[in-house]
Amino acid sequence: MAVTGLVFTAFVVVHMIGNLKVFSGAEHFDGYAHWLRTLLEPLFPYQGVLWTLRVVLVVCLLAHVWCAAILVRRSRSAAGPHRRRTRPGTASFGARSMLVSGVILLLFVVFHILDMTTGTTPVASESFVPGSAFDNLVASFSRPWVAAFYSLTMLVLAVHIAHGVRTAAGDLGVSGVRSRAGFAVVGGIAAIAVLLGNATIPLAVQAGWLA
C-alpha cells in the first residue's frame, strides 16, 4: 500500500503540473495532450507510452484497493466481535478518514475517466469532442455541480495524500525522526500543491477566466 500510494502521489503531482498548462490557452493545452499521445514515437507506437502508464496505474490501483481491504479485514479480526470504538481524540482526522476518503477517490477516478477521457454521457458534457482537451475541460467545469464536486474531491485527495505519505515512512521501515519528519513535510507540500493547483482550474472556468 505504501509503495502504490507513493506512485499515485507522484502521478497526481505530475498530472497537476500538466493540468496547469490549461492557463496557457487552448493551443498549448491541446498540444500537451497530443504530446502525451505521441511520446517516444517511433520507438513506441502512437499512445504506446500513454497506455503503458495507464496499465501501470490500473495495476497500482487494484493493488492499493486490495491492500486496503486486507488491512480493514485484519483490523476487524484483531479487534474481535466485542471491540470498543476508538475514542475520537486518539487518532488524527486523516487517519480516521482514510477509508472513507479512499472510497470517494475511487468513485472520483471512475467519474473523471468517463468525463474527461471517454466522454461517456450523461457524466461527460454533451459537447464532448474526442481530442479537444481544452474545450472538453472547459465544457465539463462550466457545469457548477461538476466544478464543486471536483474542487471538494481535491480537498479529500489532499487529506489522503498528507496522511498517506506520512504513514508510508513507517510502512517502509523509515525509523529516523528527521527522515519521518521529512516524509511528513513532503506529503504536506504535495497535498497543498495538488489542492491549490487542481482546484484553481474549475474555479477559473466558473469565474469566466477560462473559456
Q: Which amino acid is at 51?
A: W
| pLDDT at residue 124, as a whole number | 94
For residue 167, the tally of other CB atoms under 10 A from its CB is 20
| pLDDT at residue 91, as a whole number | 64
| pLDDT at residue 82, as a whole number | 54
What is the C-alpha to C-alpha distance for residues 41 and 135, in angstroms, rounded to an integer?
26
DSSP annotation of 85: P
CA diameter of the chain: 61
What are the domain boundaries of the chain? 2-78+93-207
| pLDDT at residue 176, as a whole number | 83
Please report, for residues 11, 21, 64, 125, the alpha-carbon distance to residue 119 in angstroms, rounded to integers and kept in the order given.
22, 21, 26, 7
Which stretches of the chain score pLDDT less than 70?
A: 79-91, 94
**Three-state DSSP class for 89?**
helix
User: Closest by alpha carbon to 149, among 127, 117, 118, 116?
Assistant: 116
Burial 59-90 (b: 16+ CB within 10 A, else e): ebbeebeeebeeeeeeeeeeeeeeeeeeeeee
| pLDDT at residue 97, as a whole number | 83
Contact 123, 163 (CB under 8 A): no
Phi-psi region of 3 (alpha: psi -120 to 50; beta: other; left: phi over 0): alpha
Assigned fold of 2-78+93-207: 3 helical TM bundles of succinate and fumarate reductases (1.20.1300)
Chain center to CA of 106: 9
